[in-house]
Structures are given as structure tokens and as C-alpha cells.
Amino acid sequence: MVVTRFAPSPTGYLHIGGLRTALFNWLWARHNNGKFILRIEDTDLARNSEEATKAILEAFDWVGLDYDGEVAYQSKRFDIYKRYIQKLLDEGKAYYCYMTKEELDKLREEQMQRGERPRYDRRYRDFTGTLPEGVQPVVRIKAPLEGDIIFEDGIKGTITIKSEELDDFIIARSDGTPTYNFVVAIDDALMGVTDVIRGDDHLYNTPKQIIVYEALGLKIPKFYHVPMILNEQGKKLSKRDGAMDVMEYKRMGYLPEALLNFLVRLGWSHGDQEIFSLEEMIELFDPKDINKSASAYNLSKLQWLNAHYIKNTPNEKLVTLLEDFGIFLADHDKKEILLDALKERAKTLQELADMAKEILEEPEEYDAKGMKKALRGEWREILELFVQKLEQKDVHLPVDFHTIIEEVVKEKEIGFGKIGQPLRLALLGKMAGPDLADVMAIIGKDQTIKRVKKLLESYK
């Protein structure tokens, strides 16, 4: 059975690079009817944040990625790690190192002055002399002194690291807490993880983890190291480019379906297909198809996808989603007309909410350029005739309002623009927007008359 995992550290928010990693792991597990584990790597007690943990879980809930079993917390597994550390000590595969931080800093400085790569010199590896007093030792693993560490990466191919490039790295700090590369290997093995899909910033952690696996006789999983997401200029993605809290995307008005579709295409493809349902992603995804080169974040693509998903979201669901943006339509009798008129034009829910607000709320001011363009010639007589006809009719649907506009056009022998421009300014305060008949049907006869009269009275 394929078992994957996503293992974030709760030291900050979940950003989109992390969510993409989680998505790839989730898809591969679901594709194989396997198991997807969510593990919180919270052994760094000084930097952990309970708020960050909640934010990670909230993001998973929002995008709809489920996980199998309970969330695993490394901070609750310290007894397990201690047993394995002791096992390595007992077998002579790890040792206590009494080198102080000051001694290590001095050693590194000397090595750098000689043009050497800074590294621990293994002085306590087979130490038999008198141990220094008053020093809380760390535990280091005995890394191989010669040969190569070779592993097959599902994306990058065969990776070879010379053993001489690795030193005897620390597996337990002086306070007894275990280190990242040690606990990751232990947990992946004990949790039965078969496939590790993660960012290629972890590529050079892999040889260290393999050393741990081999020292303990544990099964080594398959590795897939995913290239980074870069900005449109080919540089590391920053918060300004989009590397922000996943939940910020919700606050900006993006749909989770659009964000997941966007992320799956950052580094993975299936022919020329751009739009994927979650079911299609599960059916088609295979990590061996992940690109070897970095992918570029493209905001325009995300907005295009989001517009597609908004357009195809049922109005009933949009009503609920818009409540987060201060628009309450549940009891509005023309909500269907409103949403049908606007959702074709919106790239985000925030835009949709803003456009709805422009229709539902009476304009407080009028666009200066629009006034210069619309309030010319006999605009006043045209709007006065429109109001006069509207007051005499029983109107409800867009076609009813459009009929009155046609009557004015015919009677005054004018083009539609002669009434459309001043009418649009009166209704919306600006020259752009959806079909006027839709707008009037949404706000109703009385509000339409009120807004037109307000413009007439404002500019006598």
C-alpha cells in the first residue's frame, strides 16, 4: 500500500509551496487507494506556535484535503526517539560529543582560514581519554567514512553523495531533544511511509536520513524532490509574489478548487489540459510526471482559473460564500438575476462582492469623466421621460425595464447610448457595469426612480 505524508513545522503559516507539497502527496495516496498522513513536526519547542498549528489544520479544512487517522505530533513521541537514540549508542553507531559551541566555532573559523569547508572533525568519535566536566554532550551518529550514498530520486534520477561530504551530524541536542533528520527518518519508517514527496530544498537532508535508516536497519522509502516555485522573474517566491498564508487566498476571494487546480499545474501536467476537477487530479496524477525544472507562479493564470470556478459555482453556494465579504443575499428576491449578471465578470469573490455592492447600494458620488461624457445634450429630458414612463408601469423583470428604454429611444428618436450613458451614471455612479435592465430589475422600480431623480436634482 502506498503511504504518503505531509509534515509541516508549526513555526509559521502554511504557504502555497507547502500546500502544493501536501496536494501532491494527497493525490498520490488517493490515486493508489493508499494512506495520507498529516504529521506536525514540532520538536523545536522554542519555535513552535499553537496558532501556527491551528492555521495549518484550518487551511487543510478549507481546501478539503482530508487525512487518515489522527494528526501525529512529534512532540508526543519523544520517548520513541529516546529509545532509538539509546539503541544507536548501545550498538556503537552513535556517541556523545562534548565539544562546546565555542570550540566548534573556533574550529570552523580555523578551517575557513585554511580554505576548507567548515565541519566537525569527529574528535569524540572514538574518544578514550578523560571526558571534560561540566559539558552537556550532544549525541552524534557515526556517518560512513568512505564510499558513496546513492539513492534514486523519482524526479531527478540517481543522486550520488560522497560520504566524505557528510560529517557525524547531531541526532540529539544537549538538552536531549532529537533533531530533524533523525526524527523524520524514525517517523517515516514507523508510520510505514512508502513515498516521500517534498521540496528539493530537502534534497541534501536525504543522505543524512538514509544514514539513520541504515544504522537502524529500517526500510528506505522512495524519494521525489519537487523543484521550487519561482516568481515570474525566475527568482525565489516572496510574500509579495504570492508566497503568503494559504488562508490569505480565502480572504482575497479565491476558491479552494481554483487554488488546488492552480497548484497541481505548478510542476505537473497532463497534455495541454489546464482545468482539472479533484477527481481528475486523483485519476491522472503520478509523481514521476513532475517536471525536473522549477515552475513559475503566474497570478493571471490563478485569476483565470478562479474566474472559471466562480462562473461555474451554483448561485446558492455563492450566496453563502459572499457572506464572508459582507454581502447578504439569502432573502433578496432578485439574487439569481444579480449573480447571473455578475459572476461572468468576476475574477475573485471580493470582486464579485464589490460589484454586487455597487448595484445594491445607492451611489454616493458620480464619476467625473462619466459625467462629462453622459450629461450632454438633452440628457435631462430623456431621463425625465424615462421616469415618467416607469412610474406608470408595473415592472419586475429585466425585459420589462428594457421595454421602457426602447420606448424612450423610439419616442425621442435617439440611439441607445443617449439614454444608456446618463441612466448608467444615475444607477451606478460610473460608466461601467452589467446590463442596465438587469441592474434595474435587481434594485426594483422604486429604487431605480429614486436614483435617477437624485441625479436630476443634483445637476439642475
Kindly give, in sequence order, each residue whose CB lies less than 8 Å from that of residue 406, ignoring residues fewer than 6 positions away.
none
Residue 12: predicted pLDDT? 79
Collapsing DSSP to helix, strand or coil, 225 comes out as strand
Residue 134: predicted pLDDT? 86
Collapsing DSSP to helix, strand or coil, 286 comes out as coil
CA 10 and chain centroid, separation:
16
Place of cell 550532544: 138
Show the low-confidence residues of the chain (pLDDT under 50): none
Kindly give, in sequence order, each residue whose CB lies less than 8 Å from that of residue 20, ignoring residues fewer than 6 positions away.
226, 229, 263, 264, 266, 267
Q: Which pTM value belongs to this model?
A: 0.90
Domain 368-458 sits in CATH 1.10.10.350: yes
Secondary structure element (H or E) that encloses residue 331, with its range: none
Cα–Cα distance for residue pair 247/57, rounded to 1 Å: 11
Q: Per CATH, the architecture of 78-226 is what?
A: 3-Layer(aba) Sandwich (3.40)
If one counts every other C-beta atom within 10 angstroms of the C-beta of residue 119, the result is: 16
Q: What's the pLDDT tens digit per position in 166-217?
A: 999 999 999 999 999 999 999 999 999 999 999 999 999 999 999 999 999 9
Domain boundaries, the chain: 78-226, 368-458
Residue 52: predicted pLDDT? 84
Indicate the angle between helix axes 16-31 and 50-63, nearest 10 degrees.
50
Binding residue positions for ATP: 239
Cα–Cα distance for residue pair 203/214, rounded to 1 Å: 18
Kindly give, in sequence order, each residue whose CB lies less than 8 Å from that of residue 9, ignoring residues fewer than 6 positions away.
40, 41, 42, 44, 47, 48
Q: What's the pLDDT tens digit per position in 4-63?
A: 999 998 887 889 999 999 999 999 999 999 999 999 998 777 677 788 888 899 999 999
Residue 66: φ, ψ to 5°: -90, 165
Give me the residues paired with residue 117 across strands: none
The C-alpha angle 75, 81, 83, rounded to 5 degrees, equals: 140
Collapsing DSSP to helix, strand or coil, 189 comes out as helix
Cα–Cα distance for residue pair 82/271, rounded to 1 Å: 49
36-52 per-residue burial string, b: 16 or more CB within 10 A, e: under 16: bbbbbbbbbeeebeeeb
Binding residue positions: 239
Place of cell 448595484: 359
Q: Is there a contact between 454 and 417 (Cβ–Cβ < 8 Å)?
A: no
Residue 115: predicted pLDDT? 85
Collapsing DSSP to helix, strand or coil, 191 comes out as coil
